[in-house]
Amino acid sequence: MYTCIHVSLKNAKSLICDLLQNSEDIRCKCICPPYRDIEGQIYKQNVSLKDCNCLHVVEPMPVDGKDVEAYCLRCECKFEERSSATIKVTIIMYLSILGLLLLYMVYLTLLEPMLKRRLFGHSQLIQSDDDVGDQQPFANAHNVLSHSHSRPNMLNKVEHAQQRWRRQVQEQRKSVFDRHVVLS
């Protein structure tokens, strides 16, 4: 059970209330099989664990009087709870990470070669032998960048680290995808 945090701003209060307090996150689910001429039914209610039995949840009771006990014996009641906030946060976080990765992938594969080509011109991009079978001109970009190496400031360091990472990935890609030595 979560209590609602009282915040002064009305909008923020309702938002936090929605996020934290969700009485719909618990339920008691009773499954009752067919009995005589009554067909099978499922009953759900937001009750706590102590009230999770046939008498409290099955409403309206389809049988009356003496049959209630026989009917209830066949029913199975289970208490379940979930955390809708966790589900919401997890899915949204996952989608945002996936989106970021996709954007970065699009940038690496499509935009960056285009930008580099426009900045440095065609003449400086020499295809090396290593790039046969690999469409991304990673190695060239490293050579091109080293021409413009002025002094070791942070941007250049990030660039160098990125180039190093790309070379590692290229090596991995060669051994896994091209030569099939690792991971068959």
Residues forming contacts to another protein in the complex (CB under 8 A) are 24, 27, 31-34, 36, 39-42, 44, 46, 70, 73-74, 76, 78, 80-84, 86-88, 90-94, 97-98, 101-102, 105, 108-109, 133, 152-154, 157-158, 160-161, 164-165, 168-169, 172-173, 175-177, 180-184
* Minimum gap (Å) between residue 131 Cβ and another protein: 15
* Minimum gap (Å) between residue 54 Cβ and another protein: 12
**Residue 90 or 128 with smaller CB distance to another protein:** 90
CA atoms of 40 and 61, how far apart (whole Å): 13
3-state secondary structure of 43: strand
Closest CA to 45 of 58, 55, 33: 58
Own/partner pairs for 29-32, CB < 8 Å, 24+ apart?
Answer: 29/77, 29/78, 29/80, 30/54, 30/57, 30/58, 30/75, 30/76, 30/77, 30/78, 31/75, 31/76, 32/58, 32/71, 32/74, 32/75
**Residue 86 or 124 with smaller CB distance to another protein:** 86
**Residue 77 or 140 with smaller CB distance to another protein:** 77
* Minimum gap (Å) between residue 105 Cβ and another protein: 5
**Residue 48 or 121 with smaller CB distance to another protein:** 48
Annotate 46-75 with b (16+ C-beta within 10 A) or e (fewer).
ebeeeebbbebbbeeebeeeeeeeebbeeb
**Residue 70 or 115 with smaller CB distance to another protein:** 70
* Minimum gap (Å) between residue 119 Cβ and another protein: 22
* Minimum gap (Å) between residue 7 Cβ and another protein: 23
H or E element, residue 28? strand 26-32
